[in-house]
């Protein structure tokens, strides 16, 4: 790829750093929350664990497949580069457009707001649910003190990352290692305590009897057959979103030592670590809390996992309250603040490298193609910061993320399909690492993901969001041609 500046990326990140980025970007606040909604959709201990295990297997399968592409193309921009080489600049631009408009920046905004919500446990003025904390309104949008706190978090971490990749690496390693140790510790405590209570055994009685319960009314409907398959696919949106962002390490390939080896290995190690922790975390929840509960339950045991901390779905806090009592809210708030802060840092660090790659091809703001004196894409970092902050102000990021979950899955499928395309088109190309289990592992991922996408398209509860996700991606097509017509996009890798 041509470089518009004499500055070069510095290969400062080793295998440990890359693995910390993979796992740190994956673990945000989802694992502490989404199991409640999944339990309402499935109403079954067995199927809840199947959803998490299948999510882990699918994620690891994708990571194993991506390793081949990462070894072939260890360049800044990662997935954008892979798609461009396999399918051309239009498809890669649509991917980059969607990442910038929603996937990366929307996730940054959403996780920053999650960080703020848990900070509000200690600083009530940051609470988004208290109307007294509204500073002013922009039409129908209320702007809270917490909104500016979330933006300040994004700005702070962006500034730190403009000071060089080592600065971002330091934050990432400290916060990721802390949350991994803390999460593992809570899992051990939860399982150790819960095994003595007999709750796990109760949860496995009739473990495969699936049902769906309404969050609003508490009405229970038994499900089986195709209805169960649909419910499993829809429920996995929560677990898949909680396991997303593992691909971010590919964006920073130019700054990783021995990238042809370390990127594939970090993808495997990072996704495997998080998968194991996520499954164990759910087992810990099931050791402490009954799966089924009521939205009118008087305490956490009566609410169960299905209605944990109703209506907030804070499953982890509810589980820990059984062990630590009233102090559980503070303990979990600290853990989730650590988790989300590290997650935001990883997303900020990685995302800017993709926009840098697009700018190098004349398909993004020209200034984003330059590295600053610290050898990082400073302008790209600040552009990302501005848009993520505006999404915080808009308050619409959560809905946008719902729209693009489907689009994100589509682009994962496109990228993995690229392995087959490049194997056929470039059979003699250097492949330092070949996808484990090819062609069966990539095919397994494509089949499962295609099934989930078809379920999302067919289910009335998710059809609108998937359609909007496709629309957001499709808008990138005319934007691409407008960009080319204005003089951009004429460069090639």
Could you read off the pLDDT of 255-306 as tens digits, one per residue? 999 999 999 999 999 999 999 999 999 999 999 999 999 988 989 999 999 9
For 20-39, how does the pLDDT look when each residue is reduced to its tens digit (9 = 90+)?
Answer: 999 999 999 889 999 999 99
SS3 for 372?
coil
**How many residues appear in the chain?**
493
Please answer whether residues 400 and 466 qualify as being in contact, where contact means their C-beta atoms are separated by less than 8 angstroms.
Answer: no
Q: Identify whether the C-beta of residue 407 lies closer than 8 Å to the C-beta of residue 469.
A: yes
Query: Would the pLDDT of 493 be above 70?
Result: no
Confidence check: pLDDT of 47 > 70: yes
Element (H, E) at 322: helix 315-324
Long-range contacts of 50-54 (CB under 8 A, 24+ apart): 50/232, 51/232, 51/235, 51/236, 51/239, 52/239, 52/278, 52/279, 52/282, 53/279, 54/236, 54/448
Counting residues of the chain whose pLDDT is more than 90, the rounded percentage is 77
Could you give the angle at the alpha carbon of 46 between the alpha carbons of 40 and 47, nearest 5°?
Answer: 50
**202-208 mean pLDDT:** 93
- Checking if the pLDDT of 490 tops 60, the result is no
The secondary element (H helix, E strand) that includes residue 213 is strand 211-213
What is the three-class DSSP state of 352?
A: helix
pLDDT higher than threshold 80 for residue 491: no
Closest CA to 232 of 467, 456, 468: 456
430-434, 449-453, 489-493, range with the lowest pLDDT: 489-493
Statement: residue 4 has pLDDT above 50: no
Q: Where are the beta strands (DSSP E) in 35-114?
A: none
CA distance 5 to 16: 29
State the average pLDDT over residues 87-101: 96
Q: What is the DSSP string of 267-321?
A: HHHHHHHHHHHHHHHHHHHHHHS-S---TT-SSHHHHTTTTTTTTT--HHHHHHH
DSSP 107-132: HHHHHHHHHHHHHTTT-GGG-TT-GG
Confidence of residue 126 (pLDDT cuts 50, 70, 90): very high
Under a CB-based contact definition with an 8 Å cutoff, are residues 264 and 486 in contact? Answer: no
Give the pLDDT band (50/70/90) at residue 418: very high
pTM (2 decimals)? 0.91
pLDDT at residue 6 is higher than 70:
no
Calpha distance 437→227 (Å, rounded): 32
pLDDT of residue 312: 85
DSSP letter (8 states) at residue 99:
I
Does pLDDT of 191 surpass 80? yes
Dihedral sign, Cα of residue 358, residue 361, residue 367, residue 370: positive
- The tens digit of pLDDT for each residue in 313-326 reads 889 999 999 999 98
Residue 252 pairs in a beta bridge with: 76
Closest CA to 395 of 32, 112, 29: 112
pLDDT digits (tens, 9 = 90+) for 455-479: 888 888 888 888 888 899 999 999 9
Kindly state the average pLDDT of the residues 381-385. Answer: 98
């Amino acid at each position: 790829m041509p470089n518009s500046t004499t500055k070069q990326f510095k290969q400062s990140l080793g295998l440990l750093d890359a693995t910390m980025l993979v796992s740190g970007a994956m673990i945000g606040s989802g694992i502490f929350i989404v199991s409640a909604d999944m339990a309402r959709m499935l109403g079954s201990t067995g199927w809840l664990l199947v959803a998490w295990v299948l999510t882990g297997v699918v994620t690891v399968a994708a990571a194993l497949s991506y390793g081949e592409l990462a070894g072939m193309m260890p360049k800044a921009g990662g997935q954008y580069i892979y798609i461009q080489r396999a399918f051309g600049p239009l498809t890669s631009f649509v991917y980059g457009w969607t990442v910038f408009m929603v996937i990366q920046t929307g996730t940054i905004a959403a996780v920053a707001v999650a960080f703020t919500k848990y900070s509000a446990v200690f600083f009530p003025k940051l609470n988004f649910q208290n109307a007294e904390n509204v500073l002013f309104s922009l039409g129908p949008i209320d702007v809270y003190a917490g909104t500016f706190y979330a933006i300040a978090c994004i700005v702070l971490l962006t500034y730190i990352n403009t000071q060089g990749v080592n600065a971002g690496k330091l934050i990432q390693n400290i916060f990721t290692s802390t949350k991994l140790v803390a999460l593992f510790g809570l899992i051990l405590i939860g399982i150790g305590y819960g095994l003595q209570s007999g709750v796990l055994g109760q949860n496995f009685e009739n473990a495969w009897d699936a049902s769906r319960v309404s969050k609003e009314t508490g009405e229970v409907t038994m499900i089986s057959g195709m209805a169960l398959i649909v419910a499993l696919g829809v429920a996995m949106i929560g677990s898949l979103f909680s396991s997303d962002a593992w691909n971010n390490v590919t964006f920073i390939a130019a700054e990783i030592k021995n990238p042809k080896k370390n990127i594939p290995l970090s993808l495997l190690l990072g996704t495997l670590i998080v998968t194991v922790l996520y499954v164990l975390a759910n087992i810990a929840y099931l050791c402490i809390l009954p799966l089924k509960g009521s939205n009118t339950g008087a305490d956490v045991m009566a609410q169960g996992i299905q209605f944990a901390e109703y209506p907030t779905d804070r499953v982890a806090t509810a589980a820990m309250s059984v062990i630590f009592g009233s102090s559980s809210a503070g303990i979990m708030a600290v853990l989730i603040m650590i988790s989300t802060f590290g997650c935001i840092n990883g997303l900020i660090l990685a995302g800017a490298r993709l926009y840098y790659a697009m700018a190098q091809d004349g398909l993004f703001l020209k200034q984003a193609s330059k590295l600053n004196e610290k050898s990082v894409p400073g302008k790209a970092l600040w552009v990302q910061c501005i848009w993520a902050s505006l999404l915080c102000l808009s308050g619409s990021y959560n809905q946008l993320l719902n729209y693009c979950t489907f689009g994100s899955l589509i682009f994962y499928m496109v990228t993995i399909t690229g392995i087959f395309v490049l194997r056929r088109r470039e059979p003699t190309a250097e492949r330092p690492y070949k996808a484990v289990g090819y062609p069966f592992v990539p095919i397994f991922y494509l089949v499962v993901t295609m099934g989930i996408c078809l379920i999302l398209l067919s289910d009335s509860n998710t059809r609108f969001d998937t359609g909007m996700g496709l629309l957001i991606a499709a808008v990138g097509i005319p934007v691409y041609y407008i960009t080319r017509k204005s003089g951009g996009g004429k460069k090639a890798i």
